[in-house]
Amino acid sequence: MALDKTTPPPEQQAALDYHAFPTPGKLEIRATKPMATARDLSRAYSPGVADACMEIARDPSLVTRYTARRNLVAVVSNGSAVLGLGNIGALASKPVMEGKAVLFKKFANIDCFDLEVNETDPEALADWVCKLEPTFGAINLEDIKAPDCFVVERICRERMGIPVFHDDQHGTAIVVAAAAQNALHIAGKEPSAVRLVGIGAGAAGTACLAMLANLGIPERNITVFDKDGVLHPGRDDLAPEQRRFAHAPEGTTLTEALTGADMVLGVSGPGVLTPEMVAGMSERPVILALANPVPEIMPDLARAAAPGAMIATGRSDIPNQVNNVLCFPFIFRGALDVEATEINDAMKLACVDAIASLARQTTTAEVGEVYQDETLSFGPDYLIPKPFDPRLLPTIAVAVARAAMESGVARRPLDLDAYRESLEAQVFRSSLTMRGVTEAARRSRRRIVFAEGEDRRVLRAVQGLAEDGIHTPILVGRPDVIAQRLDQMELPVVPGRDFEIVNPESDERYTDYWRDYHELMKRQGVTPDLARAILRTNTTAIAALMVRRGDADSMICGTFGQYSWHLNYIRQVLETGGLSPAGALSLIILDDGPLFIADTHVSFESDGATLARTVEAAARHVRRFGIEPRIALCSRSQFGNFDCRSGMAMREALAILDAKGVDFEYEGEMHTELALNPELRERLLPGNRLTGRANVLIYANTDAAGAARDLLKGVAEGLEVGPILMGMGNRAHIVTPEVTQRGLINIATLASADVASYG
């Protein structure tokens, strides 16, 4: 069906809707201080604000203490070279600039104002930017056409005492250099022997070519084109940045230049390269077709014409995205945090090395999660890290900060180890909470068996565990299926070295296992035939038997199916006089700290005695994270005001705990709201024994606990560690089907930690 102008194709309509709904645009401003009372108002505004003003007037350096300036970047454009769309003007450039601001925030937690300026004269534009110095910690120039961008940047850098960085030049050059370095390494080509063709001699083109020359590609091997054809010595329309590359003979055509070339860098416009042109390039050519949104050649056409080619574009929807988004959020993070006066060459080169080396390392569970169907091991389709790779922030920002300090432009030197740790805590949200447990796991020799060893998330988790230096897991699964999946996912873990396999179809211990199981269950209607069948097909039962017989120390199951189905087999095999489930505890990591919730899965309706046991077990587990428990027994009833079932059970539990004299804070029964709001609690339940905000919420039925857990995960973006099966001596844990690779790593780490008091 032909689509008329008023009916965009579905993907375009979706992009337009993304921008339009639920509120127009992609950004808003949020206050970081409370503004709820007259007292707040008098501090934030008149009269209190005057104190902050006068302090800054007295000592200008205090602006970083009393305002948001240090973390505030201006994204400035006049709309003269917006993506590859050309000079569409300042107003139409706004979606791109808002987009850059969102990326700054999302990837590096940097706040931005996007400033679209109606000014075509570069000197006037520079003047305008310089006057903004009091507002910002740094300036990101964007989509300003060459050669005007050179003028604007030079003037701003000369006159301003904060970093000024033209993203299209330097951000692009950094990422291109990292990708080119890696591609040439794979192709086995030395930069000094490479023949390079550049298409586009604008902002991006000139900076990328200069950077590539800096990496060792000889200038005489570089031939460059713009809309007027080849850059040659006879041209009098070139800026110095372009003239440097103008040495080809006049009249050279693009096809001629590309014949036998090793690399082409397109930063020009859509469809400039034809299949015939790339077909004539050398063996294993590198094709960087970076025009946005439509590249110089689409990868499928390029691959058909040059099957050995390594191809990258600037787009997010195609593997090998070479785009300055891999650079600008992170280079600014490092520069802002050390209060650098500029972003110099040493910082840029540090950034190139950091990006290039990240692609050569194996990826994390988090990246695997986002890019499920893509190859993520270093090679032709993975030359460069993915934008959602959480390692980018700590790795690049630290490298940049170090380079700034070493090159003498950092006004605020940092302890780089502590800096890296704080950045890692931002991106790997569970890492800080899990740190103590991870250390304990590294020291232990516990063997963990994964019942669903063929699951892709389990295989990625095994890789993560190997990287974390945590033990050798055992996988229950068919070796050929595991091998095939590892191969598909290009995971470098190897059976025998990084993990062991128990094949349910042929393990030599099978007879022992089914006999043990039959012995355990013969009085509950399990016949030998049934025991054989279960131990042949039910990997949860197999894993439990392994733990029971001492072939493993702990098991993890639950990536599919119902929690209670798995729990049933665990109870059959592992429950003893001393070990029985005491509830499931979820640790939910939220922006403002961890919150534990129980019992989310085990006892559907708990009585007082069960609840008291759950509370004690939860306190034990919470302390394993180095957190002192403050436990609230939550109910619809509050201090005996309502005789609902949960209220009565909670009161019974409270009496049991009181009689026992336990050594942690607990109180109840109370509404969840009061558990989380100490001021309100003090008002409604004066004299209650809980101090501060509760960090453990106990519910009397799994409906309530499960709903609290799901809401925190679903609405508050809580990250779950768990559920932790309490009471089983750390011998078994059951995850839930939505578990992520990071979730599996966390639970396996918990299971691995050798803690005597675990139960």
Active-site residue list = 100
Q: Annotation-wise, does 272 bind a ligand?
A: no
Task: Give the one residue of 168, 226, 339, 507 binding Mg ion; rule: CB under 5 A.
Answer: 168
Task: Give the one residue of 140, 181, 282, 292 binding ligand NDP; rule: CB under 6 A.
Answer: 292
270/277 Cα distance (integer angstroms): 15
Q: Annotation-wise, does 657 bind a ligand?
A: no
Shortest Cβ 77–Mg ion spacing (Å): 8
Number of C-beta neighbours around residue 735 at 10 A? 27
Q: Annotation-wise, does 72 bind a ligand?
A: no
**For residues 689 and 661, is the Cβ–Cβ distance under 8 A?**
no
Nearest to 557 by CA among 577, 538, 572: 538
Choose between 56 and 203: whose C-beta lies nearer to ligand NDP: 203
599/700 Cα distance (integer angstroms): 7
The verdict on 143 binding Mg ion (CB under 5 A) reads yes
Mark 124-163 with x for binding to ligand NDP (rule: CB under 6 A) and - for no binding: ---------------------xx-----------------
Beta-sheet pairing, 593-598 with 696-698: parallel
The verdict on 314 binding ligand CC(=O)C(=O)O (CB under 6 A) reads yes
Question: What is the token pair recorded at 616?
Answer: 């004690």
Question: What is the token pair recorded at 174?
Answer: 């950094």
- Please compute, for residue 220, the number of CA atoms within 13 A of its CA located in the half-sphere on the CB side: 2
Q: In a 3-state reduction of DSSP, which class is residue 518?
A: helix
The verdict on 225 binding ligand NDP (CB under 6 A) reads yes
User: Cα torsion for 332, 333, 338, 339, to the nearest 10°?
Assistant: 50
Phi-psi label, residue 469: left if phi above 0, alpha if psi -120 to 50, beta otherwise: left
Q: What are phi and psi of 581, to 5 degrees?
A: -55, 135
The verdict on 227 binding ligand NDP (CB under 6 A) reads yes
The verdict on 370 binding ligand NDP (CB under 6 A) reads no
Q: Annotation-wise, does 695 bind a ligand?
A: no
Alpha carbon distances (Å) from 1 to 4, 7, 10, 73: 9, 11, 13, 46
Q: Interacting stretch for Mg ion, rule CB under 5 A, among 4-12, 137-145, 670-678, 693-701?
A: 137-145
The verdict on 201 binding ligand NDP (CB under 6 A) reads yes
Q: Extract the runs of DSSP E, i.e. beta strands, from 542-695.
A: 554-557, 583-590, 593-598, 630-634, 665-670
Tell me which of ligand CC(=O)C(=O)O, ligand NDP, Mg ion, none is bound by residue 145, counting a contact when its beta carbon lies within the kind-specific cut-off of 5 to 8 angstroms: ligand NDP
Shortest Cβ 143–ligand CC(=O)C(=O)O spacing (Å): 5
The verdict on 459 binding ligand NDP (CB under 6 A) reads no
3 burial (CB, 10 Å; 0-12 / 13-18 / 19+) is exposed
Tell me which of ligand NDP, ligand CC(=O)C(=O)O, Mg ion, none is bound by residue 343, counting a contact when its beta carbon lies within the kind-specific cut-off of 5 to 8 angstroms: none
589/542 Cα distance (integer angstroms): 32
Shortest Cβ 199–ligand NDP spacing (Å): 5
Nearest to 630 by CA among 674, 591, 581: 674
- Please compute, for residue 237, the number of CA atoms within 13 A of its CA located in the half-sphere on the CB side: 9
The verdict on 143 binding ligand CC(=O)C(=O)O (CB under 6 A) reads yes
Q: What residues pair up with 720 in beta bridges, in sequence order?
A: 588
Shortest Cβ 148–ligand NDP spacing (Å): 8
**Residues 280 to 299 in contact with ligand CC(=O)C(=O)O, rule: CB under 6 A:** 292
The verdict on 318 binding ligand NDP (CB under 6 A) reads no
**For residues 674 and 680, is the Cβ–Cβ distance under 8 A?**
yes
Tell me which of Mg ion, ligand CC(=O)C(=O)O, ligand NDP, none is bound by residue 228, counting a contact when its beta carbon lies within the kind-specific cut-off of 5 to 8 angstroms: ligand NDP
Shortest Cβ 81–ligand NDP spacing (Å): 3
Task: Give the one residue of 56, 74, 75, 81 binding ligand NDP; rule: CB under 6 A.
Answer: 81
Q: In a 3-state reduction of DSSP, which class is residue 233?
A: coil
Choose between 169 and 320: whose C-beta lies nearer to Mg ion: 169
Q: Annotation-wise, does 84 bind a ligand?
A: yes
Q: Annotation-wise, does 82 bind a ligand?
A: yes
Q: What are phi and psi of 288, to 5 degrees?
A: -105, 95
Strand order in the sheet with 164-166: 111-116, 72-77, 138-141, 164-166
Question: What is the token pair recorded at 437?
Answer: 């447990």
Tell me the Cα Rg of the chain. Answer: 31
Task: Give the one residue of 27, 44, 83, 579 binding ligand NDP; rule: CB under 6 A.
Answer: 83
Task: Give the one residue of 93, 221, 268, 752 binding ligand NDP; rule: CB under 6 A.
Answer: 268
The verdict on 202 binding ligand NDP (CB under 6 A) reads yes
Nearest to 449 by CA among 369, 531, 541, 512: 541
**Residues 83 to 102 in contact with ligand CC(=O)C(=O)O, rule: CB under 6 A:** 83
Choose between 325 and 542: whose C-beta lies nearer to ligand NDP: 325
Nearest to 633 by CA among 669, 594, 590: 669
Question: What is the token pair recorded at 666?
Answer: 């607990």
Q: Interacting stretch for ligand NDP, rule CB under 6 A, among 81-89, 106-114, 273-281, 674-682?
A: 81-89
Shortest Cβ 167–Mg ion spacing (Å): 6
Q: Annotation-wise, does 730 bind a ligand?
A: no
Q: Interacting stretch for ligand NDP, rule CB under 6 A, among 287-295, 300-308, 495-503, 682-690?
A: 287-295
Q: Interacting stretch for ligand NDP, rule CB under 6 A, among 275-283, 286-294, 426-434, 551-559?
A: 286-294
Nearest to 696 by CA among 666, 724, 669, 722: 666
271 burial (CB, 10 Å; 0-12 / 13-18 / 19+) is middle
Shortest Cβ 132–ligand CC(=O)C(=O)O spacing (Å): 21
**For residues 468 and 492, is the Cβ–Cβ distance under 8 A?**
no
Mark 322-361 with x for binding to ligand CC(=O)C(=O)O (rule: CB under 6 A) and - for no binding: -xx-------------------------------------
Shortest Cβ 166–ligand NDP spacing (Å): 9
The verdict on 392 binding ligand NDP (CB under 6 A) reads no
Nearest to 712 by CA among 593, 544, 615, 550: 593
Q: Annotation-wise, does 83 bind a ligand?
A: yes
Choose between 169 and 221: whose C-beta lies nearer to ligand CC(=O)C(=O)O: 169
Task: Give the one residue of 291, 404, 619, 724 binding ligand NDP; rule: CB under 6 A.
Answer: 291
Task: Give the one residue of 203, 298, 336, 405 binding ligand NDP; rule: CB under 6 A.
Answer: 203
Tell me which of ligand CC(=O)C(=O)O, ligand NDP, Mg ion, none is bound by residue 336, counting a contact when its beta carbon lies within the kind-specific cut-off of 5 to 8 angstroms: none
Q: Annotation-wise, does 498 bind a ligand?
A: no
621/624 Cα distance (integer angstroms): 5
Q: What b/e sequence results for 661-692 when a residue is b if at least 16 CB atoms lie within 10 Å of its CB, and e otherwise?
A: ebebbbbbbbbbebbbebeebeeebeebebee
Task: Give the one residue of 172, 586, 637, 740 binding ligand NDP; rule: CB under 6 A.
Answer: 172
Q: Is the peptide bond before 147 cis (omega within 30 degrees of 0)?
A: yes
116/142 Cα distance (integer angstroms): 10
**Residues 153 to 172 in contact with ligand CC(=O)C(=O)O, rule: CB under 6 A:** 167-168
Choose between 84 and 722: whose C-beta lies nearer to Mg ion: 84
Binding residues: 82-89, 142-143, 168, 292
Binding residues for NADP(+): 82-89
Residues of this chain that interact with Mg ion (CB under 5 A) are 143, 168
Residues of this chain that interact with ligand CC(=O)C(=O)O (CB under 6 A) are 83, 143, 167-168, 292, 314, 323-324
Residues of this chain that interact with ligand NDP (CB under 6 A) are 81, 83-84, 145-146, 168, 172, 199-205, 225-228, 267-269, 272, 290-292, 314, 322-324
Binding residues for a divalent metal cation: 142-143, 168, 292
